[in-house]
Structure 1
Amino acid sequence: MRRARHGGVKRGERFVRRFAGVLSVTAVLGLIATLALAPLSRPDATSPAFAAAADSPHNGDAQRVEVASDVAAPAVSHESYTAATGPQTLVAGGTNHDWAKLVLVLGEFPVTDQNVVVITQWMREENGPDNWWNRNNPLNNGNGSGGGSGLGSYATLQVGAEYAADSLRRLSFYDAIEAGLDAGAPAATTAAAIWQSPWATSHYGNGAHWSTSPVPVVEAPESAW
């Protein structure tokens, strides 16, 4: 009898423990369900943010913009801009290509690739590329240099550039050259105007003595500037 009673007690204890475990799980699941179904708290109607939203003229309304059918879309502008190169920047560069650009800048000509090409070619025909700064007069310009037949000299290369630009702009003998540079014409077009002008009595053999090969970049001594 004792043995049977002892077994019954154990079975009763096991039942109680299982029932308690089921109740615990059920309670946790019920708490989670309650939290999931609980409504979100509404904003305080007395708060400034709530009042500002309520007073907005667009509260609850979708905004719409209407454009008249006869209004054309504006044209898109595709303007291009070229950064201006100052004389001091070119002087600091110190090369024959910089001097050619300096003449263009001082003469208010467009600094285009073709304009730089034709002026550096012109410089090569006058003094050669390796000594282009000779007498600080790369184009052998007689204007303001104090020497006939373009054999005069200038105090600096910058002064020489100023006089070269002045000759091209001011003297009517060189109007065709001026027009070619103003238009940024192909180098060959402006070169032909140079041959036909009285700049050189030889007229460069009407182009026969004019090389169109690329002119190497050569730096002048700092003292020349």
Structure 2
Amino acid sequence: MFAIVATLALAPVTPAGVDMSVAEAGASVGTAQTVTVAPDVTAPPVSHESYTAATGPETLIASGTNEDWAKLVLIYGDWPVTEQNVTVILQWMREENGPDNWWNRNNPLNNGHGSGGGSGLGSYDSLDTAAFYAADNLLKRSFYTAIVAALEDGTSAAAVAQAIWASPWASSHYGNGANWTTSPVPIIQAPPSAW
């Protein structure tokens, strides 16, 4: 009973002697509004924002190629994933393990950092872990700052390669570039178990 009384108490009250149909009709007569805009006024530009998507580690791991691994290193290092950066990491991988077995010991760059093999002969539990430690090694060691700077720039595979040769990454320094091949690297998928 209380609910019914409360509902009636909240309902709008129509004034006595007023016909609602007449009141509603009167409210709509002559109340239309118009807006006039001067002819010299132009509409503001409309923003056409764009959105981009970045490939994440899960997508690269699922695809599983040497090119994907190179991109994964760049992502973990927070470097631009440019064609030049991917190209030089693929070349670097080829110099370390060869393209047909680039996933050897799950250590494509023969990185000693975190692999249990200080000379670069260690292995990782997965290629994902290897990508993380390759980026981490470059970022943590002061003698790799030139490599990091060239990767951050992302515009020249040759500049990154020269920084790699000048670094202590390989004691041979890749013959100061004489033993570095710049031809295109074939894209090869690693066995799923490597990831």
Q: TM-score, normalised by structure 2?
A: 0.79
Shift of 1:65: 3.9
- In structure 2, the partner of 1:100 is 70
Shift of 1:55: 2.1
Give RMSD over aligned pairs.
2.6
| Structure with larger RCO (C-alpha < 8 A, sep 6+) | 2
Match of 1:170 among 124, 129, 140: 140
Deviation of 1:185 after TM superposition, in Å, equals: 2.5
| Alpha-carbon distance between aligned partners in 2 of 1:152 and 1:63, rounded to the nearest angstrom | 77
Distance, in Å, in 2 between the alignment partners of 1:101 and 1:155 is 19
Q: 1:112 to 1:77 in 2, by over 3 A?
A: farther
Aligned length: 172
Q: Distance in 2 between matches of 1:80 and 1:56?
A: 39
Are the structure 2 counterparts of residues 54 and 169 from structure 1 closer, same or farther at C-alpha, using a change threshold of 3 Å? same
Where does 1:104-183 land on structure 2 (aligned, <5 Å)?
104-183=74-153
Q: Does 1:191 pair with 2:161? A: yes
Aligned to 1:115, the other structure's residue is in SS state helix
Q: Deviations over 1:55-94 (max 9, x none)?
A: 2232xxx7114879xxxx77x9898754211111111011
Letter aligned with residue 101 of structure 2: N
Kept in 1, the 8 Å contact 2:67–2:86? The answer is yes
Letter in 1 for 2:160: T
Deviation at 1:99, TM superposition (A): 0.4
What is the distance in 2 between the residues matched to 1:114 and 1:82? 20
Give the stretch that moved more between structures: 79-88 or 121-130.
79-88
Larger Rg: 1
Shift of residue 134 of structure 1? Answer: 0.3
Does the C-alpha gap of structure 1 residues 131 and 109 become closer, same or farther in structure 2, counting only changes over 3 Å? Answer: same
**5+ long unaligned stretches in structure 1:** 1-45
1:56 matched to which residue of 2? 32
Q: Tell whether 2:181 aligns with 1:211.
A: yes
